[in-house]
Structure 1
Amino acid sequence: MDLNKAIDLVKAELVQSRFEHTLRVAEVSKELAVVYGVAVDKVQLAAILHDYAKNWPSEKLKSYILDNGLPRELLDFDKELWHGPVGAHLFENQYGVVDQDILNAIRFHTTGRAEMSLVEMILYLADYIEPGRSFPGLQEVRQASEKNLKYACWLVARNTIMYLMKKNATIHPDSFYAYNDFTRYIKTEGLLNG
């Protein structure tokens, strides 16, 4: 899919503030792709498409999940997680996106998962650190993003899980799988004691 077509498609679907977020994520993704030697066009397309279904009403997302054979267990978790799998399914089945890196980046940009590709990690991280965000611990992640992609993603997974635990929210298993996968890596690399 052409990047300009993707931008037009997404702009028509999102409220203005979410579209602006999407453009910032695309810009940060591009910067990270250059730093980590990843194909910029792939990363930018995933970034532009990642929140396509974010502003859909809950009932529309739920219907899409049930009508299209997506895992029913998604409904056991917060609706904020639904738009990633819905968007990935939609772009694969209605818009002909076949690149699994792009589709997985969209699918898992909220939860993360074990054994993420570079494209997936870049979107996961860029979505978290884009300049419009502001919350405790963010600066540490931004600084880490310039030095070690997996360590920065570990921080994202850790911070997200801790935030959700403080809210007594259910946490998708993929978030724990991502955290554990990154933890094993940073321990092996000597980046974490214990």
Structure 2
Amino acid sequence: MNRDELAKAVRQELPKNRWEHTLRVVDTALELADRYGADAEKADRAALLHDFCKYWSRERMEAIIRRGGPPQDLLQHNLQLWHAFVGAEVVQEQFGITDSEILDAIRYHTSGRPHMSLLDKVIFLADYIEPGRRFPGISEVRELAREDLDKAVLKSLENTLIFLIQRGHKVYPLTMAARNDMVDRVRRPSSKEESS
């Protein structure tokens, strides 16, 4: 499918406000890709498709998880995580997308993961900071995103963890592992500090 056909397919799956969010994520992902040297075409494709299954029913997503592919432990965690993992499976099957970078960026755009690729981070952060988002801490993450991608991803992960904990929600293990990995990346001493 060409891009116009993909966009039409995505638009049909989403309510108007979520489609508008998707368009803002695409724009933000392209800005971040340009700033940090990610592949713009892959960023566009992953951003366009990232929420494809967002409004599918619990039963429909659960059936895809249970048949294999997405990790089974998702079923013990918040429904909001499911669409990303299910979406990666569905866009591969339905649209023939086989690029592992695009699929991973879709799969981990909500949870994060350790050792996130550049494209993973671009899509994760674009989804988090797109201009329509309004919540405490977003301005700081947007500022960080202009200067340091890893610091912005770390701050967004920490904000997410605080949000989940304050509301008494379970934390998906990949999200905690992603945060710990980003701490190591961001706080790793430079070679000058190590030699002094």
Shorter chain as normaliser: what TM range? over 0.9
- SS of aligned partner of 1:55: coil
Distance in structure 2 (CA, Å) of the matches to 1:164 and 1:110? 13
Deviations 1:20-51 (A, max 9, x none): 10000000000000001111110010000000
| Aligned residue in 1 for 2:33 | 33
Cα drift, residue 69 of structure 1: 4.4
Distance in structure 2 (CA, Å) of the matches to 1:127 and 1:23? 10
- Stretch moving more, 21-30 or 54-63: 54-63
Q: Aligned partner of 2:45: which letter?
A: L
| Aligned residue in 2 for 1:52 | 52
Q: Aligned partner of 1:146: which letter?
A: R
Does 1:162 find its partner at 2:155? no
Does 1:152 find its partner at 2:152? yes
| Aligned residue in 1 for 2:125 | 125
Cα drift, residue 63 of structure 1: 1.6
Cα drift, residue 156 of structure 1: 0.8
- SS of aligned partner of 2:28: helix
Cα drift, residue 66 of structure 1: 1.4
| Aligned residue in 1 for 2:177 | 177
Does 1:16 find its partner at 2:5? no
Distance in structure 1 (CA, Å) of the matches to 2:24 and 2:129? 10
Cα drift, residue 96 of structure 1: 1.2
Does 1:188 find its partner at 2:176? no
Cα drift, residue 72 of structure 1: 1.6
Structure possessing the higher radius of gyration over alpha carbons: 2
- Using structure 2 for the length normalisation, give the TM-score: 0.93
Distance in structure 2 (CA, Å) of the matches to 1:103 and 1:53? 13
- Stretch moving more, 62-71 or 31-40: 62-71
Cα drift, residue 64 of structure 1: 1.9
| Aligned residue in 2 for 1:64 | 64
- SS of aligned partner of 1:113: coil
Q: Residues 188 and 14 from structure 1, CA distance in 2 versus in 1: closer, same or farther, beyond 3 angstroms?
A: same
Which runs of no fewer than 5 residues in structure 2 stay unpaired? 191-196
| Aligned residue in 1 for 2:193 | none
Q: Residues 69 and 112 from structure 1, CA distance in 2 versus in 1: closer, same or farther, beyond 3 angstroms?
A: closer
Cα drift, residue 68 of structure 1: 4.2
Q: Aligned partner of 1:106: which letter?
A: I
Q: Aligned partner of 2:119: which letter?
A: V
- Using structure 1 for the length normalisation, give the TM-score: 0.94
| Aligned residue in 1 for 2:194 | none
Q: Aligned partner of 1:135: which letter?
A: F
Q: Which residues of 2 match residues 90-129 of structure 1 at below 5 A?
A: 90-129=90-129
- Stretch moving more, 24-33 or 180-189: 180-189
Q: Aligned partner of 1:140: which letter?
A: E
Give aligned pairs, total.
190
Does 1:135 find its partner at 2:135? yes
Distance in structure 2 (CA, Å) of the matches to 1:108 and 1:69? 14
| Aligned residue in 1 for 2:2 | 2
Deviations 1:97-135 (A, max 9, x none): 111110000000000000011111000000000011011
Deviations 1:115-158 (A, max 9, x none): 01111100000000001101111000000001010110000111
Distance in structure 1 (CA, Å) of the matches to 2:162 and 2:80? 17
